[in-house]
Amino acid sequence: MQKRRLGKSTLEVSALGLGCMGLSQGYGRPVDKQQGIALIRAAVDRGVTFFDTAEVYGPFANEELVGEALAPVRDQVVIATKFGFGIDPGNRTQRGLNSQPAHIREVAEASLKRLKTDRIDLFYQHRVDPAVPMEDVAGIVKDLIREGKVKHFGLSEAGVQSIRRAHAVQPVAALQSEYSLWWREPEQEILPTLEELGIGFVPFSPLGRGFLTGAIDENTSFETSDFRNTVPRFTPDARKANQALVEIVGQLAARERVTRAQLALAWILARKPWIVPIPGTTRLDRLEENIGAANIALSADDLREIDNALSRVTVQGARYSEQLQRLVDR
C-alpha cells in the first residue's frame, strides 16, 4: 500500500489506517478477542501500518487488544491512542473530561503498558477540555515527547482556535475528526487551517458509520448497545430520507466499477495528500474491500461530478446527540 505523510510531520503511515474502536465497543457486542487479533494482523499483512485506539474504548479493552495483536510487528506499525477522559478504574466507567497534566501523564504510562510498547507514536487529546488551558495540555505532551514516551501530538474534534493554541506550544502532527461524503463540515474552516499549519488530517467514520455502504436502510435494527441508536441521523425517518444520498453514491460507484465504500474512501483520499482515513470493520471481507480503495485514483473531473451530484441532496439529522455534540470544540 502507498504511504502518506501526515502534514509536515515525520509521521509516515499507510494511505488507509484501521480504526479499532468497533472491535470493542460502539457497534454492538465486542468481537471475540482472537477474532479481533486476527483482523488486526490481517490488516498488517495487507499493508496497513496505522492503527487507531483509545483508553476509553472498552474502556481499556481496545488498547489491550491492539497491543497484543501488534506486539510481534511493533516496529513496523504506527499506533495512535488518546487521552482526555476520566475513567473509574474499578468499574471501568467514563467520568467526563479530564485533561489535567498529571492525569495525561498517568494515562500515557498506563497506555504504554496496555499497548505493550515503550512509545506512543501519536497521542491525541480525545476531546478539548474547557477546564484546562490548551497550552498546559500541549506542554505536558511536549514533556512526554522529550522523554521519548510519545513521538507525536494530535487533537481530536478540536476547533480552529484550540488547534492554533496547541500548535504554538507543541507542533500538532494530526487532527482527527469525522469527515465523509455525508459530513463535510471540516471543509469550512478546519481543512484550510490544517493546510496552512502543515497538520495532517485523520477522518474517522469515513463511511458514515456504515450508512454510505448501502447496507443500512430505515428497516435496519441495531443491537441495543449500538451507538447509532442515539444518533439523530440514524432515526428510521432520517435513514429513509438519506437513502437518496446512498443511491447517488451507488450510481457513481457503478460507473467507476467500484463499491460504494470504495468510492467514499477514494473520494477522501483524493481531497488532499495529507489525509489518511481510518475506516473500522470487524470483517475480513470489508477490510479487503476498504483497502482496495487505496488503488482507486479519482480525477478532478470525477470529484467535480461527485460534488455536483451530491449537492442535490440535503442530509437529514444531526451527526451526534446533543450530549455528545457538547464535547465537540466547535
Is the whole model's pTM more than 0.95, yes or no? Answer: yes
* Cell representation of residue 63: 488498547
d(CA 183, CA 171): 27
Q: Give per-residue pLDDT as tens, 166-222.
A: 999 999 999 999 999 999 999 999 999 999 999 999 999 999 999 999 999 999 999
From the CA atom positions of the chain, what is the Rg in Å?
A: 19
d(CA 283, CA 23): 10
Distance of alpha carbon 207 from the chain centroid: 11
Contacts of 133 (CB under 8 A, 6+ apart): none
Residue 107, Cβ neighbours under 10 Å: how many?
Answer: 25
**Active-site residue, selected from the candidate residues 57, 124, 179, 320:** 57
Residue reference for cell 473509574: 88
Contacts of 37 (CB under 8 A, 6+ apart): 65, 68, 69
d(CA 256, CA 302): 9
Per-residue pLDDT of the chain (330 residues; tens, 9 = 90+): 999 999 999 999 999 999 999 999 999 999 999 999 999 999 999 999 999 999 999 999 999 999 999 999 999 999 999 999 999 887 788 889 999 999 999 999 999 999 999 999 999 999 999 999 999 999 999 999 999 999 999 999 999 999 999 999 999 999 999 999 999 999 999 999 999 999 999 999 999 999 999 999 999 999 999 999 999 999 999 999 999 999 999 999 999 999 999 999 999 999 999 999 999 999 999 999 999 999 999 999 999 999 999 999 999 999 999 999 999 999
d(CA 302, CA 308): 10
Residue 205, Cβ neighbours under 10 Å: how many?
Answer: 22
Contacts of 92 (CB under 8 A, 6+ apart): 58, 59, 60
Question: Checking DSSP bridges between strand 93-97 and strand 85-88, what pairing results, if any?
Answer: antiparallel
d(CA 26, CA 280): 11
Closest CA to 127 of 108, 105, 106, 104: 104
Is 216:15 a contact under the CB 8 Å cutoff? no
Amino acid at 167: H
Is 141:148 a contact under the CB 8 Å cutoff? no
Which run of H or of E encompasses 94? Answer: strand 93-97
Q: List the domains of the chain with CATH numbers.
A: 3-325 (3.20.20.100)
Annotated active-site residue 27? The verdict is no
CA dihedral 170, 174, 175, 180 (to 10 degrees): 170
SS3 content of the chain, % helix, strand, coil (to 5): 45, 15, 40
